[in-house]
Amino acid sequence: MPRLLASLGQWRPSRLGLKLFVAILSVNVAIAASVFLAVSYSIDRGFLDYLNQAQERRATLLADGLITRWETQNSWEWLAQSPERWPYIVRFELGQEHRERPSPLGEAQDFALRDSNGQFVVPPMDTDTPRGSNDWRWLTLYSEHSVSGDSQPVGALGFRPPQHMMERMESRFLERQQRNLVVIVISLGLASLLLAGGLSWWLGRRTRALAGATLRLTKGDYQTRLSERGRDELSSLARDFNVLAATLEASRDARARWVSDTAHELRTPLAVLRGEIEAMQDGIRPLNQENLTSLAQEVAQLERLVNDLRMLSQSDAGALDIQLAPMNLSEHLENRLSDANRWLEESGLQLTSQLAPSVMIRGDAQRLRQLWNNLLDNSCAYTQSPGELSISLASDARDAVIVWQDSSPGVPKSELSRLTERLYRVEGSRNRASGGSGLGLSIASALVSAHGGTLEASTSPLGGLRWTLRFPLFTAH
């Protein structure tokens, strides 16, 4: 029973489906009413002209037959004495003698006959409406004498205008049209019911799935996914929803990894400090200048890590303290590389540089020096000795371009896009001997972005890693 109720619940129409049903039904009823009004207008205007022409043709055809009969009898006495013959004559002359029922425009009561003196041979038979013959149309009957060849009037055939016959036909016509309209409205209602029911079920099922997935997503179930079948807007929405869910899941995992890695990085110097302090307290290690210097180094390492974290958080919040001013990038980079020669030699790296002169940008000298230090530290930490470091500076129409590349070992192409992630190391190890905290390249990326530039990693022809840095050129206005 619960399963049956749940199944029935899935079939209930959604509010959107009900609105769609009402809209489709209303449109179809409006179309049916418009068609009915258009047909009525057509009958009142165009169809009435057609009836006039058709009735005149019937009157002319009946007149020819009556003239032939008069010339045979040379009078109307035969018809006046037997008026019951009139309906058969009308049907015969109009070619309707084989029909079960006469045409609505060819009935005997729609015609009348007068002789040449104006006396009625067949008076109007106004059975439906008490009308006289004054507003009828009359067609004079002429007969030609064989001797003189002249024609003389022998009578007049009257026929009822179509407007009068429409009054007789109106009740039957309206009844028929109303019956047809009811059939049309019922058919449209059933079609609308089937169409809106199918659409509401289809649309309601997909919207309920989206609503349910959204609810699960708000509760933290980031593994929720929607079916992406089709190419309509709902399928596109499902794809966007899946991208959002994947992004939130990746963000949650990155946040968890960030907290875990940060805790690890903070725990390492704290553990060293704790161990050395306890050793001094227990008298295992003496409280002398050498041991205090070791403690100071660990505190400095911890301070650098905290400062790096603070800097990255400021960068994320857009609150990084940076003062941009026109500066000579060529001169600034050349000075820093000159100061780093001894450092590079101790690391077993040979520096080759090719710097274009007087490349001007808007930059912060202190922040750029921090950028060069992080890149140098990365090259020295991860490039095998003896190795090579090549740095070039050039400019194009819009940017100053720095290419910073070193020798082996390299980085797999699949890992290049993740190098600037915080606390990320290619080897996946937390061994501090292989490098720093894992924040250097993240800070470098943040510093480049703060200058309005870009930082892109690729494979170096020297066998190691190549960084391409772009800074907007300074143009004096």
385-413: per-residue pLDDT in tens? 888 999 999 988 888 999 999 888 888 88
Predicted confidence at residue 472, as pLDDT, reads 92
Predicted confidence at residue 231, as pLDDT, reads 74
Bigger pLDDT: 67 vs 414: 67
Find the mean pLDDT for residues 19-36: 72
Q: What percent of the chain has pLDDT over 90?
A: 5
Domain covering 325-472 in this structure, CATH number: 3.30.565.10
Contact 345, 386 (CB under 8 A): no
Find the mean pLDDT for residues 179-206: 73
Please give the C-alpha separations between residue 419 and each of 114, 423, 458, in angstroms, as whole numbers. 113, 9, 10
Bigger pLDDT: 280 vs 171: 280
Distance between terminal CA atoms of the chain? 80
Q: Work out the pLDDT band at 315, boundaries 50, 70, 90.
A: low
Q: Note if the pTM is more than 0.75.
A: no
Sequential DSSP letters for 415-436: GGGGTTSTT--TT----GGG-S
d(CA 330, CA 349): 21
Predicted confidence at residue 4, as pLDDT, reads 42
Q: What percent of the chain has pLDDT over 70?
A: 74
| DSSP for residue 284 | S
Predicted confidence at residue 402, as pLDDT, reads 92
Contact 453, 359 (CB under 8 A): no
Res 298 pLDDT > 80: no
Predicted confidence at residue 15, as pLDDT, reads 66
Mention every residue, 6+ apart, whose C-beta is less than 8 A from residue 392. Answer: 353, 354, 355, 402, 403
Tokens for 141, please give them.
């009957």
Q: Work out the pLDDT band at 450, boundaries 50, 70, 90.
A: confident
Phi-psi region of 394 (alpha: psi -120 to 50; beta: other; left: phi over 0): beta
Range among 181-185, 343-347, 386-390 with highest mean pLDDT value? 386-390
Structural domain boundaries in the chain: 15-172, 233-316, 325-472
Bigger pLDDT: 101 vs 350: 350
Predicted confidence at residue 428, as pLDDT, reads 43
Find the mean pLDDT for residues 245-262: 75
Res 169 pLDDT > 70: no
Residue 93 CA from chain centroid, whole number = 69
The CB-side HSE value for 263 (13 A sphere, CA atoms) comes to 6
Range among 71-85, 121-135, 419-433 with highest mean pLDDT value? 71-85
Predicted confidence at residue 226, as pLDDT, reads 81
Q: Work out the pLDDT band at 128, boundaries 50, 70, 90.
A: very low
Q: How many C-beta atoms lie closer than 10 Å to residue 44's C-beta? A: 10
Tokens for 357, please give them.
């002169």
Domain covering 233-316 in this structure, CATH number: 1.10.287.130
Res 330 pLDDT > 50: yes
3-state helix, strand, coil in the chain (%, to 5): 60, 15, 25
Predicted confidence at residue 145, as pLDDT, reads 57
Q: Work out the pLDDT band at 294, boundaries 50, 70, 90.
A: confident
Residue 211 CA from chain centroid, whole number = 18
Predicted confidence at residue 23, as pLDDT, reads 75
Residue owning tokens 């143009």:
475
Predicted confidence at residue 404, as pLDDT, reads 92
Any idea which of 41-45, 187-191, 309-313, 412-416 has the lowest mean pLDDT? Answer: 41-45
Q: How many C-beta atoms lie closer than 10 Å to residue 33's C-beta? A: 13
Any idea which of 100-104, 119-123, 282-286 has the lowest mean pLDDT? Answer: 100-104
Find the mean pLDDT for residues 57-65: 86
Find the mean pLDDT for residues 291-312: 74
